[in-house]
Structure 1
Amino acid sequence: MHIKTQARAAVPPSLADQVYTHVKNELFDLALLPGDAFAEADIVAVTGVSRTPVRQALQRLAREGFVQVTSRSGWRVRPFDFERFEQLYDLRIVLELAAVARLCKQPELVQSPAIEALLQAWGVAPHQRLPVGRDAALLDEAFHCTLVEATGNMEMAAVHRDVTEKISIVRRLDFTKQARIDSTYDEHGAILQAILKRREAEACSMLKAHIEVSKAEVRKITIHNLHTTRASYSSRSI
């Protein structure tokens, strides 16, 4: 017996989903800084969406740890919690080391268009490297997420994406100097080559050292850093 199935049409995002994405982008692009206060009416004015879906989006962001409610219609971006960031970095290290170990043990996993794209992106000549700014930070996030996704363990990849989002602000502060971007290109390239050559210990050692550098920057963050970084991004403020 054959049962015919119909492909479901893509469901467009709800108004609450659209607001959720908008506010999250404002957070990641530092248009809204940790500790900044804002009202639901501010979001309504910018997005043109009514208060109910705005509140639904903000409640979702609150559950995920990005914002906090301060009054009936008042909100603020969650202030920096250095201990929390360090714990998230520790979790990130565990996940990525497990991913790299698996890729080294199963070389067939790296024979994919995604890994090939990483090799091309991070193997460019020095004059082709991205400058300071949002694009370099996003390319870095894509590198690490792709390594985890390449293992084929989608549950691990989902947890890793969640961690990546929660530390996104810190990660982007790591790309405000060209020297740091250049070293990232060199380190990513070396990590990829070690994986391709199945040098697990070497790849894991380099990856851990690479992430530890970013982790060490967490305690150096100040509001001045955030305002300086925001100037390099081309996002609009609420």
Structure 2
Amino acid sequence: MSSPMQRGKGRPEALAERVYQALKNDIFEFRLMPGDRFSENEIAERMEVSRTPVRQALFWLEREGYVEVWFRSGWQIKNFDFEYFEELYDLRTVLECEAVKRLCALPSEQCAALLTELKQFWIQAERLEEGKTVSQHDEAFHMTLVASAGNREMARIHAELTEKIRIIRRLDFTRDDRVDATYQEHAQILQAIFQQRTEEAQRILTNHIAVSKAEVRKITLHMLQQARLQPIE
């Protein structure tokens, strides 16, 4: 699902969009923790805005599954539901494996043309070290695989679930060994696709996603524990 910022640049709700992005960043960086409760007035005072844009931003975040409203007692950051995230990862695996199957069935020249930029970045270019940047390119890698398969509904659904898992998926790039593994496995997936080895490409991709899912669960739990131990200023 595209963000409000993406859906409507130049709209009068620009203030609400600023609050939305700020709150989402607070959630992603664990400045707002799962289970934390707050009122619209508290957010409005902290961001020096009225309650109206705060309420609009919170409704957007509620629709995306990050917060929930407690009538008469404010809002709450939703607790992590790892079972829900694992279901999203399972759906992601199904979509991406189907995309790989379709890419391998294309004429080799057409497939190579569709994935030229991925080959240049993940195989030929100098490696990046900064985890946040690599995380963004990782998302682009997997979204490009699905989009290149040619089914717009598959691409739309995949883009929506990519947004939903971003809050924990990005943590997979906070360690150098995970960045290295991503480069290696992306290159292997591409090489198998270019050589039309469907089963091998699907196997590497499935394992790649499964390991990432396990790692982000461990890292998320650790990050939550560490954030809880931080002293209150």
Please, what TM-score do these two structures have when normalized by structure 1? 0.79
Partner of 2:200: 202
Partner of 1:111: 113
Partner of 2:35: 35
User: Is the CA contact 1:130–1:136 (under 8 Å) kept in the aligned structure 2?
Assistant: yes
- Alpha-carbon offset, residue 221 of structure 1: 4.5
Partner of 1:53: 53
- Counterpart secondary structure, 1:169: helix
Tell me how many residue pairs correspond in the alignment: 216
- Counterpart secondary structure, 1:212: helix
Is structure 2 residue 164 aligned with structure 1 residue 166?
yes
User: Is the CA contact 1:174–1:180 (under 8 Å) kept in the aligned structure 2?
Assistant: yes
State the alpha-carbon separation in 1 of the partners of residues 92 and 23 from structure 2: 24
Using a 3 Å threshold, how does the CA distance of structure 1 residues 49 and 153 change in structure 2: closer, same or farther?
Answer: farther
- Alpha-carbon offset, residue 82 of structure 1: 1.3
Partner of 1:97: 97
Cα-to-partner distance string for 1:19-66 (whole Å, 9 max, x where unaligned): 333433433344433333333234434555432232122112212211
**Larger RCO, structures 1/2 (Cα 8 Å, 6+ apart):** 1
Using a 3 Å threshold, how does the CA distance of structure 1 residues 28 and 148 change in structure 2: closer, same or farther?
Answer: farther
Using a 3 Å threshold, how does the CA distance of structure 1 residues 38 and 201 change in structure 2: closer, same or farther?
Answer: same
**Aligned Cα root-mean-square deviation (Å):** 2.5
- Alpha-carbon offset, residue 89 of structure 1: 0.8
- Of residues 130-139 and 158-167 in structure 1, the stretch that sits farther from structure 2 once superposed is 130-139
Between structures 1 and 2, the one with greater helix share: 2
Using a 3 Å threshold, how does the CA distance of structure 1 residues 133 and 95 change in structure 2: closer, same or farther?
Answer: same
Partner of 1:152: 150
Using a 3 Å threshold, how does the CA distance of structure 1 residues 41 and 134 change in structure 2: closer, same or farther?
Answer: farther
Partner of 1:179: 177
- Counterpart secondary structure, 1:123: helix
Identical positions, percent: 53
Structure 1 residue ranges without an equivalent (≥5)? 1-9, 230-238
- Of residues 58-67 and 68-77 in structure 1, the stretch that sits farther from structure 2 once superposed is 68-77
Amino acid at match of 1:200: T
Match of 2:188 among 165, 176, 190: 190
Structure 2 residue ranges without an equivalent (≥5)? 1-7, 228-233
